[in-house]
Chains A and B, each alone.
Chain A
Amino acid sequence: MPIRTEPMTVNVGPQHPSTHGVFRLRITFDGEEILEVEPVFGYLHRGTEKLAEERNYVQVVTLTDRLDYVSSMINNQAYCLAVEQLLEVEPPDRGKYLRTIAAELQRIAAHLMGIGFFLQDLGTLGTPLMYCFRTREKILDLFEMLCGARITVSYLRPGGVFADAPEDFWPALDRFLTDLPGELSELEQLILENEIVMVRTRGVSTLPLDMAINSSVSGPVLRASGLAWDWRKAEPYDAYDRVEFDVPVAQNGDNYDRFWVRMQELHQSARIVRQCVEQIEPGPVRLDLPLVLRPEPGREAYGRVEASKGELAFYLFSDGGISPYRCKIRSPSLINLTVTEHLLVGWKLADMIVTLGSVDINMGEVDR
C-alpha cells in the first residue's frame, strides 16, 4: 500500500542563515525533494537607480559601494568606466594600474567570501570560512591603507582613483602576495579534494551551457558550464590588456565546478596583481576633471566589467545635466538567479542551500 504523502510549502528566508542576505524562496517540498520554487526578491530594495538620478556623477560612486558590498572596488570600477565612456576620457596609466590592483584584490576577497560561505553551507563548522576570512582581512587592511575604508571604499573616481597609494602600501602588498599562495594551498588541502565535498557537489544541480547562455548567466557560473568567456579578455579595460592571465573553465556546470572555478580564479587574480606591481610607474593617478561633471546631452554609455559575480554593467544616459538622466545597473547576481528554478527543482533541501552558495549571490546587488 503506498503511503499517502502531502506536499509541504516552506518559506526559506528572508530570515535564514544560508540565503546570503534577505533572499526568500517559497519552496514546495515532497519530503526532502523540491517540487516548486518561487524566488521572492525586494527585501533589500533601496532604489539605487532612482537615487543615482538625484546625485551628481561623482557622488554616485558612493552608491555603487553598496550594491555588492563584498566587491565595492569592482562596482566603483564599472561605474567609473561608464562615466569615462560618457566623457570620452581615459585615466592616466598609474591610475589604471591602481584600479586594476584594487579590483583584483577585491575579486580575491569576494571570491574568498563566496567560497567560505559555500563551504559553510555544505555544513563545515566554519574552519574553511575562517581560513578564507584570514586572507580577506589582510585585503581589507590593504584597502584601509589605500583609502581609509574597508568595505564601502569609494576609492575609484571617474578619471582615475581618489589618491595615490601611500608609501607603505607597496611593502604591505608585497608581503600579502608572498603569503597568499601558502594560505590558499592550506585551504585547498583542507577542502578541494575532500571526499565529502566531492560527493555532495559533483553532478549536483548541473547547468548545461546552452541554458546558461540563453539565461544570460555570466561570471564563474557561466565559466563552470564550459564557456571561457571573460570580459577582461573580451573587452579589456583599465590595465587588463597589459597583463597575462588564464581563464579557468570547467565542463560539468555543477556545484563543484562553480566552486572550483572560483578557487582557480584566486590564483589568476594574484597573478594579475603581481604583474601590475611590476609594471606600475610613477605618474598622475587622476585626470584633472571638474568636480561637477557635465557630459554632452544625449550621450549614453554601457560601462561593463567582469565583476566577481559576473558581468556588472552601468547603462548611463546623459541629458547634459550634472547627474545621470538614467542609471541602469545590470546586476549579475539578479540575472544569474534566472536559472534558480532549473537548478533547484528535483534536488533535495540540502542541495538547495549548497546550490545557492555555489551561484554566489549578493542581495545588495540583487535588490539594489
Chain B
Amino acid sequence: MPFQALTGEALADRLAEAVPDSVERADGDCVWVEPSQIAITAQFLRDDPGLDFQFLNAISAVDFIDSFDVVYHLTSFRQQHKGVVKARLHGRESLSLPSVYEVWRGADLQEREVWDLMGIRFEGHPNMKRIMLWEGFDGHPLRKDYL
C-alpha cells in the first residue's frame, strides 16, 4: 500500500458524516473546517479507524490581511495516508481557535508559536504563553502589517 494523499473531498465526506456542520468547503487536497469545530473534528480525525490521523505534522498559520488560515498537516502511519485540514478565521483582532492540545500533545509548542508570531490564541491550551519572544513584546511579528 503506497503512501498517498487524501483529497479534500474524501476528507470532507467523512467529516460531514461524523461531525455535522463542521465542513465549510473542500478543495483540491485540503478541507476547510468551521473554526469552532476544530477540536471535535481533530478528535474524530485521530480516533476514526478509517482516517486514523495519529500524527500531527505541523500547525501553520497564514496571514491574508482580512483573514487567517490555520493549516493542520496530518499523517496516518497505519493507513499510509496524509491529509490537510484548514480553518479560516476572519478579522484581525482577538482571534481565537479551540486548541487541539488534548488530541495531539505535539500541538503544544506549535500552538504557542502560532500565538507568539501570528497572534491567534488557542482556547484550552494549558500554557498559552509566548515562546520565541518575551512576554510583553508588542505585536506579532509574522503578521503582514508588522514591519
Contacts and interface: CB of A to CB of B under 8 A. Distances in A.
Interface in A79-113: none
- Bin chain A's interface residue count: 20 to 34
Contacts of B55: 213, 216
Nearest to B146: A50
Nearest to A302: B73
Is the contact region of chain B dominated by helix, strand, or loop, or is it mixed? mixed
Contacts, number: 80
B73 A215 contact: no
B109 A337 contact: yes
Interface string A206-218: 0000010111110
B57 A217 contact: no
Interface string A190-224: 00000000000000000000010111110000000
A226 B141 CA distance: 39
A335 B57 CA distance: 9
B105 A211 contact: yes
A74 interface: no
A234 B133 CA distance: 35
A338 B105 contact: yes
Given A41-B132, A213-B77, A367-B132, A328 B58 contact: yes
Contacts of B61: 328
Interface string B95-122: 0000000001111111001000100000
Contact of B62 (A215, A227, A234, A317): A317
A186 interface: no
Given A315-B60, A334-B113, A339-B105, 6 more contacts: A41-B131, A213-B54, A302-B73, A326-B60, A328-B61, A335-B109
The 4 nearest A-B residue pairs measured at CB: A216-B106, A328-B60, A330-B58, A42-B132
